[in-house]
Chain A
Amino acid sequence: MAEPTKSMQYRVLLVDDDRDMISLLSSWLKDAGFEVDPVMSGSEAIARIDVFRPHLVITDLVMQGMDGMTLLSKIHRQNPLMPVIMLSGKAQIADAVKAMHLGIAEFLTKPLTKDELVARVRYTLRLAAGESDSGANFGKEIIYRSEKITQLLEQAKLLAATDVTILITGATGTGKEALAKAIHEGSARKDQPFVAINCAAIPEQLLESELFGHEKGAFTGAQTKHEGLFQAANKGTILLDEVGDMPLSLQVKLLRVLQDFAVRPVGSVRGIPVNVRVISATNTDLEQGVKSSRFREDLYYRLNVVPLHLPPLGERREDIQPLLNHFLKRVGQRDNKKRKRFAPEAVEYLASAPWPGNIRQLMNVVELCCALTNTDIIPLAMAQKALRDQPAHVQTLKDAKEDFERSYLVSVLRVTNGHVSHAARLAGRNRTEFYKLLKQHHIEPEEFRTSRQATEED
């Protein structure tokens, strides 16, 4: 970012109920070239926002009347992207950490120096302007041409620079997981784990243990302690996929985790602090779920701090052609073959086809066409056939069963740290049968063992 000059003077709204603090900070910021509007309470700040239109708000955490946290959530209800720096004493850091999770806020501990403050202000403004280090590369895996996706990615890029909780909605195959991954990759957490869990694919009893972990002996089959995915995602990002399908009994537990930033493993009385950025995704209408009491309203608001909606492919047909080209190229590279092309009539046909299975369906159609065509040019008839054979929005029962079985096996193994006999008992199968299942799915129990157990048993 260029140094703020007279032509582009950044406006900073400063909120603190301590007169001396406000004078000091104003003086520092003005000297560094910012335009400062100092106010002494949260309610004044709210009133000033629309008038002064700040690029950044700096607020004290502990204030008489409205405190910094309340102010923060009020600001973000109106301006979800407004960057906020929260000032706090060392003793209040726990609250400040919560502030980060609540929205686009960072905290700075007092006492602080002029250099610290000014550097942080510049940094935060730069992030807000989307000029983070990875900014230029943001979402480079996502192929698009439409205005809708351009705008969505611009917003996602700003959000990536923050820890704000995001809910991604969109029909099956529209790229919800791909977007969540892009946000993680574009964030400061990119070198930390990205953990995705499909809340619909795992039975209720296992899901709790998968998410939050369990203590040794927490239930039958729990012979060893198990670390949950929230802990595995510590410092990184967790994607709660198909969150709309989470059972109500777990929704309340998830809510507690989001409120306390601590998980309590099954069978434990102690909470373990976690620092995780939460993104959830759903292809069901969560609002409808709330109305019909299948989804907790309080959890809905916690997850839906910022909603991002991926429109179906049929509402962004400009993206179809670049996507076709992208997948043709990818298949060619993967198979080490000359890249095929669609005949012009085939492109025209595909560009106006209904795509109930969206991008995943389109990808499958390209695969199929490439596999079944011997020539360089894929003819219209082949495209038509492939689309007919790829009804994408309904999996075959066999595929669906297999997917389920696989996720199930993986979670029992995770929960038992790879102990086949324990896992078999949980699954209600004998060891031999269970081994056979693992083999069918090419699952290696060793991969689920922690090093300590690798030498025990089996």
Chain B
Amino acid sequence: MATRIVRVDPELKDLIPGFLNNRRQDALTIRAALAQEDMETVRILGHSMKGCGGGYGFNALSELGGILERGAQNRDSEAITNAVDELQAYLEQVEIIYD
């Protein structure tokens, strides 16, 4: 992932902590779903991450969402695992500047 510094519209400031928390929750749900080979759940979560990540300013999350969605469609557990690892690392490290 290229940059972990993200600029976010100040008007969204109140929403960001909740948004990022939901993504942490997603990462856990995806791992659990993967263990059960529940690809549908992975696909849905990936799809909605793709849909709103960029809107909140996190293009990297949109990208990861797309990888998860595609991974689920292809039943590619390895790609999904890699993407979840990346997602969690990203959520640990991301820094936000409101401007």
Chain B residues positioned under 8 Å from A21 (CB to CB):
48, 51-52, 55
Per a CB cutoff under 8 Å, which of B9, B11, B52 touches A20? Answer: B52
> Which of A31, A62, A111 has a CB less than 8 Å from the CB of B52?
A111
CB <8 Å contact, B22 and A111: no
Q: Are A111 and B18 in contact (CB under 8 A)?
A: no
Contact B19 A89 (CB under 8 A): no
Interface of A: prevailing SS: helix
A366 to B47, CA, bound (A): 65
Given A27-B11, A27-B15, the answer on whether A20 and B48 have CB atoms closer than 8 Å is yes
**Chain B residues touching A, range:** 10 to 19
Q: Mark B13-26, 1 if CB is under 8 A from A, else 0.
A: 00100110010000
A111 touches B19 (CB 8 A): no
Bound Cα distance A114, B54 (Å): 10
Query: Which of A27, A62, A111, A113 interacts with B12 by CB under 8 Å?
Result: A27
Q: Chain B residues with Cβ under 8 A from A111's Cβ? A: 50-55, 62
B90 at the interface (CB under 8 A from A): no
Cα A18 to Cα B56 in complex, Å, equals 14
Partner pick for A113 among B50, B53, B55, CB 8 A cutoff: B55
Residues of A close to B53: CB separation below 8 A = 111
Chain B contact residues, majority secondary structure = helix
Q: Which of B12, B48, B62 contacts A18 (CB 8 A)?
A: B48
Interface size class, chain A: 10 to 19
Among the listed A24, A89, A110, A112, which residue makes an inter-chain contact with B15, where contact means beta carbons less than 8 Å apart?
A24
Are B52 and A89 neighbours in the complex by a CB distance under 8 Å? Answer: no
Closest Cβ of chain A: how far from B22's Cβ, in Å?
6
Chain A contacts of B15 at CB under 8 A? Answer: 20, 23-24, 27
- Nearest CB on A from B64, distance (A): 13
Whole-angstrom CA separation of A21 from B62 in the bound complex: 12
CB A40 to nearest CB in B, in angstroms, measures 13
Q: Which residues of A contact B12 (CB under 8 A)?
A: 24, 27
Q: Which residues of chain B from 16 to 40 have any CB-CB distance to chain A below 8 Å in the complex?
A: 18-19, 22
Sample of 7 A–B contacts (CB below 8 Å): A18-B48, A23-B19, A28-B55, A89-B51, A110-B52, A111-B50, A113-B54
Taking Cβ atoms with an 8 Å cutoff, the residues of B that contact A are 9, 11-12, 15, 18-19, 22, 47-48, 50-56, 62
Given contacts A20-B56, A21-B52, A23-B15, 17 further A-B contacts (CB under 8 A): A18-B52, A20-B18, A20-B22, A23-B18, A24-B19, A24-B52, A24-B55, A27-B15, A28-B55, A31-B11, A89-B47, A89-B50, A110-B52, A111-B50, A111-B51, A111-B53, A113-B55
Q: List 8 A-B pairs, minimum CB-CB distance, nearest first.
A: A110-B51, A111-B54, A21-B52, A18-B48, A24-B55, A23-B15, A20-B52, A20-B19
